[in-house]
Every structure is written in C-alpha cells, then in structure tokens.
Chain A
C-alpha cells in the first residue's frame, strides 16, 4: 500500500510533469523525504536551510490541513492522499 501525493502545478517541472505520485511512508515527514529522494531538485523548494518544511507550504492529509496540527509528524494512513498546497499569503490558509 502507498500514499498518493498531489503535486502543485508550480512544482511539476521537477516531477517530470506528474501531478500524482505513489509514495511509501507513515508520516508526512517520511513521505516528503521519499518525494525528495525520488526528485532531489525538489528539496530546496520544499525545505528551508534548516531542513524544515517551508512556512508557505500547507500540507493536507485528506481534507485536513496538518500544518499546525502534527506537521511533519502527522500520521498518513495507507491509501490516503497527501496534498502539498502553496499558501496564498495574507492569512492562515486553514479555512
């Protein structure tokens, strides 16, 4: 079993144009690491200099934004969808 990761249009140049990827992992952090391992050029766009997820990237597990509830430690059940959504500045983005 794996997780479906949805890639925002802005980053598809780094994923061979793919919008949906199947990746393995049990937490948001593990799945993002698996993503960056497959497409190393994505790394600097998703993570800051300290290796933290960029503050302007929201992560949805299913329909829930886990950015401020669990973050990279949030669990991702098998078969679930993980969506990386660029936050539009000017608000919390958790609406």
Chain B
C-alpha cells in the first residue's frame, strides 16, 4: 500500500455517549482525522493531484501552487513530497506557527498574504501569480475544481452508504470549499432521494471555526450548489469549542473545532427528528493541530 492508498476508508463512529437524551436517533461521525495527513482534505488533495496527473496538467516534478490556511496545504505538502513535486502555498500571515511548521517540514514553501483579507486575499494572490506564469505551475484551485467534490462523490458518500447499510437519513456538515458537503450529499441523494442535506455555517462572519466559511461574507466557491442544501444550521464558535471539548472528554475523540461545530449541529438538529433517523456528520481534522488554543482549558 502507498500513501495515496492509505487515504479514505475511515471508520464511522457512533457518538452514543452524547445521544443519551435522544434515544432512537443515531448520530454517527466519520473519523476523517484518521487520514494520513490528519484531515478530510487528504481525499480532495489526492483526487485533484491524480486528476492533474491523468490529464497531463501536472507533469512530473512540476510545482504545485494553491491558497490554503490549513489542512489542504498540509495534504498538498505531504503528497507533493511523496510525488517529488515542489509545493508553494499562499496563506494569510496570521496562520499559526504550528500550521506553517507542518507545511515546511514536508519541504513546501510559504508565501504570506495580508491577514486582514483572510483566505480570500491568499486566493486572489495565487490567481495573480498563476496568471503571470501560467506554465510554471499546477494550480489545483480547490474551491472550483470538480475533482475536489468528486473525491467525496466517489468515496466518502459510498463509504457512508455501506457503513450505515443504506440507513442514513441526514448528512450534516460544515463547508469550506464545500467539496465534502456537495460531493457527499449529491451521491447520497442519487442513492436515496429522501436523504436530507443539512449544511453547517459559522453564525458570525468573524469566527474561529477553522476551515469553514461564512458564505454570505466571502467568495462563494464554484463547487457550492445551494440546491443541495435542504436546511442550514448556524453554530457559534463558543458552541464549537465546547463540543470539541466534550468530544475529547466524554468520547475520547481529540478532534478540531469544525468537528465540534459539526457534532453540535448534528446533535441540535437530530433532536427534532423522528425515531429511527440516522444522522451522519464529519470529524474533519485532528485536535492535535489546535493544542495551543486556550479553549481546552488545560
């Protein structure tokens, strides 16, 4: 087995410790933090790189460039090292030292952009650089690359379908590029049109839920398709922190802030569902990436 083959096929965990108040309703979480790069973004990165190689757009040894404040950068840096391709990543200067270290350890180069412009600023800076030197780079463009959502259409959705024996009724997930949500729910609805897609968004444009987007105040990803969203649940950063802590202390699951947001949304939302419902959400990345955050209270 090689690094690429180690991506995906993650366990689907039951969150029984948290669902005592809602008997008869299943809340399950896909353990994406167990991917080799520590997050769900391994699936998207692998799919975009393999698609680039297959189409001849990524040539052996060519430089991979993208904008990312976090997990996609770590996945691309890791896979670039594996493929022998240099990686250049643009990120807002306020990205943490731990993030930058994880990227640099794999040998990737970091270009810092204006922190006030957040990830949109990093994205626009990459677009400019790619326009200047189009032949020099492979630009996966994770926000608009169909191969990102297709990773979830072809793998995440089918794994969830099989792991629940076709019993899933609701898929609940936050959105960054929206690849995870859109790809997974599109396939699930094809398998069973009754399955509902519940999207999760930060309740404020200024938030601490790393990796997720407040859609109305930022550039909407090309992958985003409002028609696939049946319901929207808003979660505050405080709720996400508090659930990340509960996952660590009550379930033994050390996951990141967006995982806290996803599980908080799944529990809130599923409390109103009929008996026998099965809600599936995503544990998007590992909590070891957030050790210096003060909300853990240690």
Contacts and interface: CB of A to CB of B under 8 A. Distances in A.
Interface string B277-293: 00000000000011011
Interface residues of B, number: 36
Per DSSP, chain A at the interface is loop
Interface of B: 69-70, 92, 94-100, 115-118, 120-121, 204-210, 214, 217-218, 237-238, 256-257, 289-290, 292-295
Nearest to B295: A55
Given A89-B209, A89-B210, A95 B116 contact: no
A57 interface: yes
A88 B206 contact: no
Interface of A: 6-11, 13, 19, 44-46, 48-49, 54-58, 83, 85-93, 95
Contacts of A92: 96-97, 292
Contact of A86 (B94, B100, B238, B290): B94
B100 to A, nearest CB: 8
B214 A58 contact: no
Which of B94, B95, B294 has most A Cβ within 10 Å? B94
Nearest to B237: A56
Contacts of B295: 55
Contact of A44 (B98, B115, B204): B204
